[in-house]
Amino acid sequence: MTIPEPPLSRQASAYALGSQYGRAYLETLSDRSVLAEKSDLDALNLALPDQGVSAETILELMNRVGSPGTMASAAGRYFGYVIGGSLPAASGARTLLSAWDQTANSDTGPSVIKLEEIAIRWAIDLLDLPTESTGAFTTGATMANMTLLMTARDRQLDRLGHPRGKGLIGAPALRVIASAEIHATVLKSLRMIGLGSDAIEFVPVDDQGRMRADQMPDLDPSCLVLAQAGNVCTGSFDPFDALADQCQAAGAWLHVDGAFGLWARASSQLAPALAGLERADSWVVDAHKTLNAPYDSGLALCRHPDELRASMAIGAGYLPKTDPTPSDLAPEFSRAARGAETWAALLSLGRQGLDDMVTRFHHQAASLVPRLEALGFNVPHQVHFNQVFVTRPGEDALCAKVVKHVQQSGEAWFGAATWQGQNGFRISLSNWATQDQDLDRLNGALETALGDLA
């Protein structure tokens, strides 16, 4: 008589096999093409069988077809969309978390909730934000922006005599004032909370993409002012001190979208450029970009904990009375314990390690400029952080061809971009694994493209 394998033993075996495939994937990632292989993806499109397939067969298929079908974004030669890699400790933490399978809610995962609380406290300290601030983990900047803008909306309406419980029906009009180059995810967040994006009062920016504080409209208590730390093309930072002066005088809410750029505050070299950031009311930052935690991990940080909780909290008779549970500070009720990966990332780096990594991204970005200029390209901005917007004056078509050539070569990857009427491409330096040889290969890929396209 055959004794069936216990269910959890089968799970452990599948877990080990998945880890084995994952290790092999990472060990070969630096040597493979950055571009995803799409030709075999139809092999995944199976008819759903009547009888289930073994975990071993499923994982073998995923590894054989799915692994080559991924973009090598974790490799050091990927420079697109400000996508970071995953630090070893953070990647290992995700593996362990998948075995734990905890939800960060109420008393269903005490250890992971504690890890998240510590990670948030560390982030607030590292970013030198007010000690009374609190925060919550979300899937990314879009949901973090939505969380904080909803809180801002509710607080400002309440001050105008329209309490939270009434919703938006019959509410006084709010004014949204934003940088002319505010990120698209902020605009999406505004639509999701019912404020729309058609009536925004956009403030002009300078030739670096920074909000012009001297061009701000008159503010009042109905205003939400949206600034950013890290222009998506140039990496520049808005003038937070000047904006905070105007917001505080008028009773307006100042919100900062810093999905990748807020971490510049953790660099002793770059922090002065973000002076006054601590005077805002709320901040967004992603852990899965500059910090190099795994996707998906955003942080919504707020200097007004009671306001955040008043907008986000829920209650039910079957829920334990914890104070507060993560679901009281963010939209999601059931979600993975993603904050534990940020805890692991920060602990693995330490204060100095984070400073060094963030500063290195800046130095790598700056080091590209003379190499790009030697190839005939132009960088029409200062290198403020880790973004490099590149043009070829009068040769937009050539720029587009260079992007396609480099992508298809598999040597490196970056994407086309448009900024202030100029067409070109954007190179983002945000991966802990990027080394000097990766930048050499990027430069070589650009040289080859220009030679082949001549």
pLDDT in tens, 108-120: 788 999 999 999 9
Largest CA distance in the chain: 83
pLDDT, residue 276, reads 98
Q: Which residue has the higher pLDDT, 20 or 320?
A: 20
For the segment 44-90, what is each residue's pLDDT rounded down to a tens digit?
Answer: 999 999 999 999 999 999 999 999 999 999 999 999 999 999 999 99
Mean pLDDT of 237-244: 98
3 state SS for the chain: CCCCCCHHHHHHHHHHHHHHHHHHHHHHHHHCCCCCCCCCHHHHCCCCCCCCCCHHHHHHHHHHHHCCCCCCCCCCCECCCCCCCCCHHHHHHHHHHHHHCCECCCCCCHHHHHHHHHHHHHHHHHCCCCCCCEEEEECCHHHHHHHHHHHHHHHHHHHCCCCHHHCCCCCCCCEEEEECCCCHHHHHHHHHCCCCCCCCEEECECCCCCECHHHCCCCCCCEEEEEEECCCCCCCECCHHHHHHHHHHHCCEEEEECCCHHHHHHCCCCHHHHCCHHHCCEEEEECCCCCCCCCCCEEEEECCHHHHHHHHCCCCCCCCCCCCCHHHCCCCCCCECCHHHHHHHHHHHHHHHHHHHHHHHHHHHHHHHHHHHHCCCECCCCCCCCEEEEECCCCHHHHHHHHHHHHHHCCCECEEEEECCEEEEEEECCCCCCCHHHHHHHHHHHHHHHHHHC
Contact between residue 391 and residue 423 where contact means Cβ atoms under 8 Å apart: yes
Q: What is the pLDDT of residues 141-162, one digit of tens each?
A: 999 999 999 999 999 999 999 9
- Residue 317 above 60 pLDDT? no
What was the pLDDT predicted at 167? 86
Residue 128: left if φ>0, alpha if ψ -120 to 50, beta else—which one?
left
Tens of pLDDT, residues 283-295:
999 999 999 999 9
Q: Are strands 298-302 and 134-138 parallel, antiparallel or unpaired?
A: antiparallel
Radius of gyration of the chain (CA): 24
Per-residue pLDDT tens over the stretch 249-285: 999 999 999 999 999 999 999 999 999 999 999 999 9
CA separation (Å) from 42 to 39, 67, 69?
8, 14, 11
Instruction: Return all residues near 4 (Cβ < 8 A) that are at least 6 apart.
Output: none
pLDDT of residue 22: 94
- Supply the pTM of this predicted model: 0.95
Predicted confidence (pLDDT) per residue in 193-226, tens digit = 999 988 999 999 999 999 999 999 999 999 999 9
The single-letter code of the amino acid at 395 is E
427 within 8 A of 388, measured Cβ to Cβ: yes
pLDDT at 78: 96
Q: What is the mean pLDDT of the chain?
A: 94
325 has pLDDT over 90: no
Q: What mean pLDDT is predicted for residues 19-24?
A: 94
- Residue 110's pLDDT is 87
Question: How does residue 320 score in pLDDT terms, banded at 50, 70 and 90?
Answer: low
HSE-up of residue 335 (Cα within 13 Å, Cβ side): 23
Residues pairing with 416 in the sheet: 425
pLDDT of the residue at 454 = 84
Q: pLDDT-based confidence at 318, cuts 50/70/90?
A: very low
